[in-house]
Structure 1
Amino acid sequence: MQRISSSNRFAERIRFGSRTAILALAGLALTACGSGGGGGGGGGSSTPSAFLLFRADDGSKGAEPWTSDGSGSGTELLKNIKGSGGDSRPDEFTRMGDTVFFKANGPDNSELYKTDGTAGGTQQVKDINPSGYAGPQHLATYDGALYFTAKDGSNGSELWRSDGTASGTRMVKDINPGPGDSEPGKALYSGLSPTVYNNHLYFNANDGTNGVELWRTDGTKAGTERVTDINNGSDDSLPFGLTVAGGTAYFGAQDSSSNRDLYRVDTSGASPKAVKVNSGNGIIPNSLVAFDGEVYFRAQPAGGNFDYELWRTASGGGITQVKDINSGSNASQAAPRLVFDGKLYLTANGGTDGTELWRSDGTASGTKQVADINPGSNDSRIGALTVFNGALYFQASDGSSGDELWRTSGGAVGQVADINPGGDSDPAFLTVFDGTLYFRADDGITGEELWETDGTISGTQRVGDINTGLGDGLTGSAIFAFQ
């Protein structure tokens, strides 16, 4: 494998000077990032037009929201939501209009918060559960409103909506009447995020009678309804992986015989329903990705043997196997990841080279391994795939330099930089913002911190040391870009 060539970084440093402010829910060491002490925050009062969001801990104020303009000196605490002696642990950043909503643990426990990128504009939306823990989760936007699940102390975990004001934050429907949870979001495998399809928001819920099934809402109580009861009675079908491809919504679910199969949503009649797509039973679909009007996924043949390969829906109905990547009864464990440059990229084990990066044009002949990054039968441990500046960036290990940042433009594959020589830098949460790729990494000296790259060795550098020394600065589960 080749290393990506370096380039002059001077122009990049000059460009930072004109960059709009970046919000980072992170913490950089105060010696490098300004003060922002007490229960307030740093920065000016003007509202930034673009920003990054992530969570971090500077070692003294706990996990709180921070802001950054992409430089160490311009990275500072946004607001100490929890105050002394705790962590607000902001998470699930979701944009609606000019506001970013998130959940955080403040003085009123876990509640819904919002920010415009300033300390003054970072505030709790409403104390949903005055007696305890609201626990907002599964944030999603639909038809000009924010939807999420929460508990108000009287009802269990139910579907709520908000326009960003206290008075405009209310429960949509008590799906499981009384204190019982409707369990929105509960699912198998990778879960089922609330998804907009055909002018409705689809989600999972349990009404206390039919188990966890697929539901939808138009934002009203009357328009919140169960789509189908795949697992008849009180047992759960636990829908997962809802993905829209070619104007159709597909998902996996299990029936009353514990067969896990592929379904589609049919809205042609007076009421919505779910229709099984595959013939036979028990294909166990997973890792659904939309590509070229169809949905691609990992599955086994009907009836089992756990020979997981790459499959897709067929334009005339049903499903078809794209390729038996690991021929015979062996499983390639093909897992579609994302679409880049007109191809579907996936990870798979061809039986010789371990689990490596593959790509497909939807045909057997056009499904090929990109490279054997970790030579031999060892896995390259690929993850965090993200498109940036005409190339695909990802985490991988070549067996020599640990888990590091790599890239491919569809042809050659190369390591961008060996951030942690002799160890793993574990690059994660790759996020594109204003012509730069930001991510979390550990250089073995300063812990997990905020890094940036322009795709070159010299242009790959740490933004700042949030938690001075070996302590981890970035403690969240995402870096969010508002732009």
Structure 2
Amino acid sequence: MQRMSWLWVLLGGALTWGAGCGEGDPKPSPEEPPVQRAGPAFLVKDAAGGKPSLFDFEPYNSKTLAIDVAGTLYFQRTPISHSNNQLWRSDGTREGTRMVQGPWWNHPAMAPERLTSLNGHLLYAARVSTEDGAPYRLWRHDPATETAEDLTPYQDLPKGVHGDAAVELVEAQGRAFFGVQEGAEGALWVTDGTRNGTLRLRSGLGLEPPVPLASLGTRVFFSVRDAETHRALWVSDGTTDGTVKVSDLVPPGGSVGVIRSGAVVGDQWLFWMTAHSQASGELQLWKSNGTPQGTVPVSPEVIPNTAYTSNQTGVVLGDSLVFPRIRHPERVWELWKSDGRTVELAASLGALEQGPIGLTVLNDHVLFWAAKARPEYTLWRTNGTQAGTQPLLTTRMVDQSPLLPLPPLVLSRPGGPILFSAWDAEAGLELWRTDGTVQSTVRYADIEPGPESSSPGWMVVSGGHVFFTARTQATGRELWALPIP
């Protein structure tokens, strides 16, 4: 059996690795069969040669599992055994679809997490060793040389409640801001994707790693927990002197606050303040232009926290933030909007079992899913008015696992169309497209012919393709693609 040896080098206190050849490189595979097609879509590669498939189960719809890096798709493969997490890459060809070389080949505990693209490089979080509880560090993978370097050899990245990496990176002007733990205190760091360009901006920032939230021009907002019952909003322009506190924030009810990111509208950042628990308390919409005087509530009104989910903080349509909220006890869902000066009702959707999710901007409309009675879901569009809010398609997610989020709405290119998964009796759960009108909302590809479902998974635009996962009886769940429509 062919073998790959690994070269580990210590350079200036930082670990780097590269691939060296063992005795003999892998032999070329036998000639592969013709490309399998379904309309515009095609099977990129039957990587496992039939079952078992490349994806043992439906991957979670997360942006950190698959991303574009300078025109190449990078994605994580997590086998059902969870014993050999892997990083793969694809350029849309069979030959260019393969596992990326790295220490995770032999040490799955060091598998990449939290994939991020920066300046043509792949940044990711990974453990420094296979030991239980080993800290996470930030790494850079160079696609050209297939080498990686530890950018933070002495700084531990934050962990989530399950012990996984929880680092958040926010980009501004070609640099990514992130928080680390240094002893008992947090510190803000910045990187341009190189070892020399990875710098501490400020230390002594509270009890835990600061959390970058959003970029506004050349600056990045971040939150600091400087006491058990207190959080503050800070801003940084990427320099030590320009990393300063903006304001102490008091959430509704006066208890410890949690800042939930909203969106940049014009020259200000709109965000949510909520009580310490996302499951209780109240929400209030705030705004900030990076100054103490400009950091104030948009409105004195507070809304129930049950109207909020972490991925539904709103989207920017024109000059307004559009967001959903619920009125109890009737469970009437509404769309509201704010330009940073006022907050007003945009449209009422009536009583729903599942409120608006997956808000996605397409030109001068927002598209989203909602459900009166699950598993029946309706795809809606709105222009921010009651008259301009209408359904486009009603579908039943009968082949979609209830443990997974709804299929995403993916903008294939500026101006559309949007691609998504939907079900009908003729073809099952397959790939659809829409330009935002009823007439343009149609099935785009039937990957598994007939009523059986291929259940397309995450979709990522990379290079000249839209990549996604899909399942067939012949191959299992594999990587598919189609030219950007």
1:325 to partner: Cα distance: 1.6
Higher mean Cα deviation, 123-132 or 105-114? 123-132
- Encode CA deviations 1:184-223: one digit per residue, 9 max, x unaligned: 44xxxxxxx6311154211233112553454322234452
Q: 2:167, 2:272 → 1: CA distance?
A: 22
Q: Distance in 1 between matches of 2:38 and 2:285?
A: 46
- 1:146 maps to what in 2? 176
CA–CA separation in structure 2 for the residues paired with 1:167 and 1:70: 33
Paired residue for 2:149, among 99, 114, 123? 123
CA deviation map 1:149-188 (0-9, x unaligned): 2234x245543222334454343333445xx324x44xxx
Q: Is the 8 A contact 2:114 2:125 kept in 1?
A: yes
Corresponding residue of 1:231:
251
Residue of structure 2 in register with 1:412 after alignment? 440
In the other structure, the counterpart of 1:81 is 103
| Letter aligned with residue 196 of structure 1 | S
Query: Cα 1:233–1:353, aligned 2, differ >3 Å: closer, same or farther?
Result: closer
CA shift in 2, pair 1:306/1:224, >3 Å? farther
1:30–1:49 distance in 2 versus 1, CA, 3 Å: farther
Name the counterpart of 2:63: none
Q: Kindly state the Cα deviation for residue 367 of structure 1 after the two structures are TM-superposed.
A: 0.5
Shift of 1:309: 2.5
Check whether the contact 2:423–2:429 (CA below 8 A) recurs between aligned residues: yes
**Which residue of 2 is the match for residue 317 of structure 1?**
341
| TM-score normalised according to structure 1 size | 0.70
Task: Choose the corresponding residue for 1:181, options 201, 204, 208.
Answer: 208
Specify which of 211, 216, 219 is matched with residue 230 of structure 2: 211
Give the direction of change, closer, same or farther, for the CA distance of 1:350–1:366 in structure 2 (3 Å limit): farther
Confirm or deny that 1:396 pairs with 2:418. no
**Which residue does 1:448 correspond to in 2?**
477
Partner of 1:326, secondary structure, is strand
Residue 343 of structure 1 deviates from its aligned partner by 1.3
Matches within 5 A, 1:429-440: 429-440=458-469
Correspondences of 1:28-43 after superposition (within 5 Å): 28-29=47-48
Deviation at 1:227, TM superposition (A): 3.0
Distance in 2 of aligned mates of 1:308 and 1:118 = 53
Partner residue, 1:249: 269
Structure 2 counterpart of 1:149, which letter? G
| Whole-angstrom distance in 2 between the partners of 1:84 and 1:352 | 43
- Aligned residue in 2 for 1:464: none
Shift in Å, 1:241: 3.1
Partner Cα separation in structure 2 for residue 61 and residue 314 of structure 1? 47
Q: Counterpart amino acid of 1:125?
A: L
| Alpha-carbon displacement from aligned partner over 1:127-163 (angstroms, at most 9, x marks no partner) | 13489989571122224422122234x2455432223
Task: Write the mapping of 1:94-109 to structure 2, written as runs, cut at 5 A.
Answer: 94-107=116-129
Asked if 1 retains the 8 angstrom alpha-carbon contact of 2:116 and 2:123, the reply is yes
Q: 5+ residue gaps in structure 1?
A: 17-25, 33-47, 186-192, 457-483
Q: Which of 276, 280, 291 is the equivalent residue of 2:298?
A: 276
Structure 1 or 2: more strand by fraction: 2
Could you tell me how far 1:402 is from its partner in structure 2?
4.5
Aligned pairs for 1:248-397 within 5 A: 248-254=268-274, 258-267=281-290, 271-277=293-299, 279=301, 281-282=303-304, 284-285=307-308, 287=312, 288-301=314-327, 304-305=328-329, 307-314=331-338, 317-326=341-350, 333-335=355-357, 337-349=359-371, 354-374=376-396, 382-388=406-412, 390-397=416-423
Larger mean CA deviation between 95-104 and 356-365 belongs to 95-104
Q: Indicate the residue corresponding to 1:21 in structure 2.
A: none
Of 251-260 and 408-417, more deviation after overlay is shown by: 251-260
**Residue identity in the other structure for 2:208:** D
Question: C-alpha distance in 2, partners of 1:279/1:132?
Answer: 34
Aligned residue for 2:3? none
Aligned residue number for residue 202 of structure 1 = 221
Aligned 8 A contact 1:149 1:158 in 2: yes
Q: C-alpha separation between the residues in 2 aligned to 1:60 and 1:31?
A: 20
Cα distance in structure 2, aligned partners of 1:63 and 1:88: 8
Name which of 75, 82, 93 aligns with 1:54.
75
1:113–1:123 Cα contact (<8 Å) kept: yes
Q: Distance in 2 between matches of 1:228 and 1:342?
A: 36
Change (3 A) 1:277 1:198: farther
CA contact (8 A) 2:252 2:283 kept: no
Alignment partner of 2:331: what SS?
coil
Could you say what secondary structure the match of 1:428 adopts?
A: coil
Instruction: Tell me whether 233-242 or 316-325 shows the greater mean CA deviation.
Output: 233-242
**Aligned partners of 1:262, 1:345: CA distance in 2, in Å?**
22
The alpha carbon displacement at 1:295 in A equals: 0.7
Contact 1:278–1:319 (8 Å) recurs in 2: no
Distance 2:83 2:302 in 1: 56
Q: Which moved more, 1:67-76 or 1:229-238?
A: 229-238
Q: CA deviation at 1:455?
A: 7.8
CA RMSD of aligned residues (A): 4.3
Aligned residue for 1:427, secondary structure, equals coil
Offset from partner CA, 1:398-450 (integer Å, 9 cap, x none): 36755432212232322233435665534232112233210122335544331
Task: Report the count of equivalent residues.
Answer: 407
Q: Aligned equivalents of 2:196 and 2:230: distance in 1?
A: 32
* Residue identity in the other structure for 1:162: T
8 Å Cα contact 2:223-2:233 kept in structure 1: yes
Instruction: Give the letter aligned to residue 170 of structure 2.
Output: A
Going from structure 1 to structure 2, the CA distance change for 1:441 and 1:87 (only over 3 Å counts) comes to: farther
CA positional deviation for 1:243: 0.7
